[in-house]
Each structure stands twice: as C-alpha cells, then as structure tokens.
Amino acid sequence: MVKPIWALSGVGESIQNRADIQGNKALSVALNTQFLFQIGVFTAIPMILGFILEEGVLTAFVSFITMQFQLCSVFFTFSLGTRTHYFGRTILHGGAKYRATGRGFVVRHIKFAENYRLYSRSHFVKGLEVALLLVIFLAYGFNNNGAIGYILLSISSWFMALSWLFAPYVFNPSGFEWQKVVEDFRDWTNWLFYRGGIGVKGEESWEAWWDEELAHIHTFRGRIMETILSLRFFIFQYGVVYHMKASQENTALSVYWVSWAVLGGLFVLLMVFSLNPKAMVHFQLLLRLVKSIALLVVLAGLVVAIARTHLTVVDVLASILAYVPTGWGILSIAVAWKPIVKRLGLWKTVRSLARLYDASMGMIIFVPIAICSWFPFISTFQTRLLFNQAFSRGLEISLILAGNNQNAGI
C-alpha cells in the first residue's frame, strides 16, 4: 500500500529527483532493501529455516525445491489468507467459531460457483485489490531501474494476488477440463441471476448468499469499523484524478469534485438500468425508451469530452482505475449501514451494484480458466500434479469414456 500511495502523491518521484540532483542513493537503496527484506522474512525464510532445523541443510534445500514444483507455496499463501480474513472478521465483529480451511484431500470436482461462494470475500476481493494497487504502481510509479526494479519490488505481491485468485481452481480436480468448465459457467450464471426469496438458500441464489455474507455486520461498532476501513478505497480516485491529462496539472480541489459529479451521473445511470421491468409492466415502451436515451447521452457525452477537451482514451482507462475501487468503497459503506439505506429506498440499487461487481469479479477469474481449458496439456499437467500416476491414468480414461457416452447420445 505504501508504494502506490507514494506513486499517486508524487512523493516517490520527488524523493528520486532530489536524490539524483544531490547524487545521493542512500535513501532509495535503504527503502528498496527494506521491502526486499520484508519479502524474504515474511515468505520463504521461515519455511527454509524450519526445514534446516528438522532435516539438515542439503535435505532442506531439496525439499524446498520439490515443494515449489508441487505448488506448495501457492497453497500455503492461500491458506494463510483464509486465516487472516477470519481472524480479522472475528476481531472486528466477534462470533468466533470453527471455520473450514479446506485442508482435506479432495478427489471430486468443485463447481466454480461453490468456490466463488466460499472464497469471494476472503480471497478474491483482497486479491483484486492487491492487483489493482500493483497496476497503479506500474502506471504511476517512478523507478529509475525500470522493469527490473518493478519486478523485484512487486513479484512477491503479484504471487500473493494470483495465489488468492486462482489457487482454488488450480487445486480443483478437472478444473481445466473443457466440459467441466462449460458446466461450471452455466451453473454459475444460473446461481448469479436466480432471485432469492423465503426459504431459498445461498447455494441456490446469489441474493440469498449475499444476505448471508452481510449477517456478521450487526453491531454499531462493527458498522463504524467497516466504514473506516472502506475509506481506503477513495484514495485511488483522489490520486488517479490528478494524474489525468484532462486535469492539465490542476491541483485545485474542484477537479476532485468534478470526478464525484461524474460518478454521481454513473450512479443515476445505474438506477435507471436497475429498474425492474416486471414492476413497470404497463410502461415497457417508456422504460426501454428511457434506458436507450440514457445510454446514448452517456456515449455522446464521452465522445464530446474526448473531442472538445483534453480527455484522452488513456484518461478513460485511468478513470476505470479510479471509479472501480470508489464504487466498491461506496458499496461497502452502504451494506454496513443497511437499515438506513433501506429506509432511503436505495437498497435495490445497492443490490444491483453488488451483483454487477460479483459478476465482473467472477468473469475476471473465469476467463483465464476458460482460456487454459482450451489446451488439453494443462488439464493433463494439473491431474498429474494433484494425483499419482496410476490415479491420473484412471481419471483420463474415465474422462474419455464419459465423452464417448455423451457423444453417443447426440
């Protein structure tokens, strides 16, 4: 979090420029050494020292290399994220109880929707947040060492983010088998768009699952803490807005308020598109006309802004980096104060925004899995990684037989 904040505020560039003028590299070297030292202390070194004490230096080195080929570090990083999330939730909201950490040996395929329900809030949200911070550091960071310096400072963070996002699917049997991927996508979309109701469980409907995920926020202290923690998402917007070319290096506070006005317009647009067609059964034509006009106005405004102002396509992409975390921060605060939002009549809009975010996060995770499933050797490698050779051959034969039976019925 420190490096991206330095990048957005300009502190990192100022320190580097002053050091270049004075020929003083001590501060930058010390800071980079500190980050690399923290990376080593909190990741691999404790594991290696433990092996050395138990097995000796040579055996420990061989065991460590073998574990890397078996992706044990990925599993360890993911399981550590599970403990961190639930420890933090218990400290903030109470309700300590047993939490399954997925340490059992699994030989059945877990559907995409089930993994998403289990790890969305504990890993996927945090993984995407870390990835977004790293992208901002890449876009706005100042580093004389170029790509090599960025890789050295961010490789462990990228490893953690990717582990939190994809570890459940890497260790999921048949997770990259095309037939399973197609079935998982169909099951996930059905779950995502199925409306909840009385007696509907979280395994059947996204709305029911979302309500269950908010059940731990029930005390005034918990709402205050959630609000304070959610304020960090607004730092993205504040920093990115002043780096856009449309601002013309204007540091006035009015630039920030203009960005909020644009965000308000997007929120109104969301309210228009979240109108329920069934509730306006007698005004279907009017509803479609309003939605079409709203969409055309937004597109026309974007084209005019690019043509008549200093707004560029890069600024449009940068605004995504600004508004996506801001929207999540607003959503997090809104769900923390659910009773008040319901009284204001905005709960349906908040729920539509939450569904949009979950759909987007799911697609970000699902698309790489679908692409990898196009290549059969990835599924074969995964099967060999998870199971021994005899079981891997048996699983491959069962998949072939299942494919033949399915084709025979066509």
Q: Which residue has the higher pLDDT, 189 or 76?
A: 189
Q: Which of 343, 359, 385 is the last residue before a domain boundary?
A: 343
Residue 409 has pLDDT above 50, yes or no: no
Residue 233 lies in a domain: yes
Q: Which residue has the higher pLDDT, 208 or 144?
A: 208
Q: Which of 299, 324, 343 is the last residue before a domain boundary?
A: 343
Residue 298 lies in a domain: yes
Q: Can you tell me the distance from the alpha carbon of 369 to that of 366, in angstroms, rounded to the nearest whole number?
A: 5
pLDDT for res 187:
92
Among the ranges given (113-122, 125-134, 172-181, 283-292), the one the predictor scored with the smallest mean pLDDT: 283-292
Q: Which residue has the higher pLDDT, 203 or 3?
A: 203
Assigned token pair, 266? 């997007």
- Segments forming the whole domain that contains residue 74: 1-96+106-190
The sign of the dihedral angle between the CA atoms of 248, 252, 255, 256 is positive
Residue 177 has pLDDT above 60, yes or no: yes
Residue 198 lies in a domain: no
Q: Confidence band (pLDDT; 50, 70, 90) for 116?
A: very high
Residue 130 lies in a domain: yes
Residue 293 lies in a domain: yes
Q: Confidence band (pLDDT; 50, 70, 90) for 408?
A: very low
One domain for residues 9 and 81: yes
Q: Can you tell me the distance from the alpha carbon of 218 to that of 80, in angstroms, rounded to the nearest whole number?
A: 26
Assigned token pair, 28? 């930058």
Residue 148 lies in a domain: yes
Residue 123 lies in a domain: yes
Domain count, the chain: 3
> pLDDT digit string (tens) for 339-397?
999 998 888 888 888 999 999 999 999 999 999 988 888 888 887 777 655 455 555 55
One domain for residues 5 and 140: yes
How far is residue 399 from each of residues 390, 405, 408, measured CA to CA in Å?
15, 10, 14
Residue 197 lies in a domain: no
Q: Which residue has the higher pLDDT, 246 or 382?
A: 382
400 burial (CB, 10 Å; 0-12 / 13-18 / 19+) is exposed
pLDDT for res 410:
39
One domain for residues 185 and 40: yes
Q: Can you tell me the distance from the alpha carbon of 213 to that of 121, in angstroms, rounded to the nearest whole number?
A: 8
Polymer length in residues for the chain: 410
Q: Confidence band (pLDDT; 50, 70, 90) for 401?
A: low
Q: 311 in the Ramachandran plot: left (φ > 0), alpha (ψ -120 to 50) or beta? A: beta
How far is residue 319 from each of residues 4, 120, 164, 202, 357, measured CA to CA in Å?
16, 25, 25, 34, 16
> pLDDT digit string (tens) for 20-56?
666 656 655 655 665 555 555 555 666 677 778 878 8
Alpha carbons within 13 angstroms on the beta-carbon side of residue 35 total 17
pLDDT for res 395:
53
Do 7 and 137 contact (CB within 8 A), yes or no?
A: yes
One domain for residues 316 and 242: yes
Residue 274 CA, chain-centre distance (Å), reads 24
Residue 269 has pLDDT above 80, yes or no: no
One domain for residues 49 and 82: yes
Among the ranges given (40-44, 62-66, 246-250), the one the predictor scored with the smallest mean pLDDT: 40-44
Q: Can you tell me the distance from the alpha carbon of 61 to that of 54, in angstroms, rounded to the nearest whole number?
A: 12
pLDDT for res 371:
92
* Segment 318-327 mean pLDDT: 84
One domain for residues 36 and 175: yes
* Spatial CA neighbour of 125 closest among 191, 81, 155, 87: 81
* Segment 99-107 mean pLDDT: 56
Q: Which of 148, 175, 190 is the last residue before a domain boundary?
A: 190
Q: Can you tell me the distance from the alpha carbon of 351 to that of 298, in angstroms, rounded to the nearest whole number?
A: 23
**Tokens 């574990």 — which residue?**
67
Rg of the chain taking only CA atoms, in angstroms = 25
Q: Confidence band (pLDDT; 50, 70, 90) for 62?
A: confident
Cα–Cα–Cα angle for 108, 111, 114, rounded to 5 degrees: 115
One domain for residues 110 and 30: yes
Residue 203 has pLDDT above 60, yes or no: yes
The sign of the dihedral angle between the CA atoms of 251, 255, 257, 259 is negative
The helix (H) or strand (E) run that includes residue 228 is: helix 220-230
Q: Which residue has the higher pLDDT, 114 or 98?
A: 114
Among the ranges given (124-128, 142-146, 341-345, 391-395), the one the predictor scored with the smallest mean pLDDT: 391-395
Q: Which residue has the higher pLDDT, 148 or 226?
A: 226
